[in-house]
């Protein structure tokens, strides 16, 4: 009997984990306007590249759906892309799922949402840190 109860508990936990993995944080669901996107590359601690995009109202939007996707519209509607998306706590995974997928860390403050992703790579013995920060508002 104890084994059966333990099995049911584990099976339920695995199912709940799988379901939570495949859902977008309800706070994100809906349409967001992009304010800015900043990408910074550092090599061995020195900034080697900076790319800063500031968006006009409606130029770029992100729409997170209950169907576990994000629809990114750019160029005032000229380009549309739909990608899979899911959350785990404050981490947001966008795009095709992979073993070493780097998530965005999501923070909410003062009516804005910040998506921050940092990736570290080593190329030719140099440590390269790539940071991407996207600021959204409703």
What total of structural domains would you count in the chain? Answer: 1
**Which tens digits make up the pLDDT trace of 89-129?**
999 999 998 888 999 999 999 989 999 999 999 999 999 99
Say whether pTM exceeds 0.85.
no
Q: Give the structural domain span for 63.
A: 2-137
CATH number, domain of 25, equals 2.40.128
DSSP 8-state symbol, 101: P
Contact (CB, 8 A) for 72 and 51: no
Cα-Cα-Cα-Cα dihedral sign, residues 26, 87, 97, 83? positive
- pLDDT tens-digit profile of 47-79? 999 999 999 999 999 999 999 999 999 999 999
């Amino acid at each position: 009997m104890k084994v059966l109860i333990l099995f049911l508990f584990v099976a339920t936990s695995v199912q709940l984990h799988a379901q939570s993995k495949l859902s977008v944080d309800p706070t994100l669901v809906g349409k967001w306007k992009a304010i800015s996107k900043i990408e910074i590359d550092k090599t061995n601690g020195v900034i080697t590249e900076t790319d800063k995009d500031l968006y006009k109202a409606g130029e770029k939007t992100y729409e997170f759906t209950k169907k576990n996707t994000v629809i990114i519209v750019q160029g005032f509607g000229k380009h549309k892309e739909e990608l899979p998306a899911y959350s785990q706590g404050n981490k947001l995974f966008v795009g095709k799922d992979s073993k070493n997928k780097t998530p965005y860390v999501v923070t909410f403050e003062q009516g804005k949402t910040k998506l921050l992703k940092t990736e570290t790579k080593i190329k030719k013995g140099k440590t390269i840190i790539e940071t991407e920060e996207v600021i959204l508002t409703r």
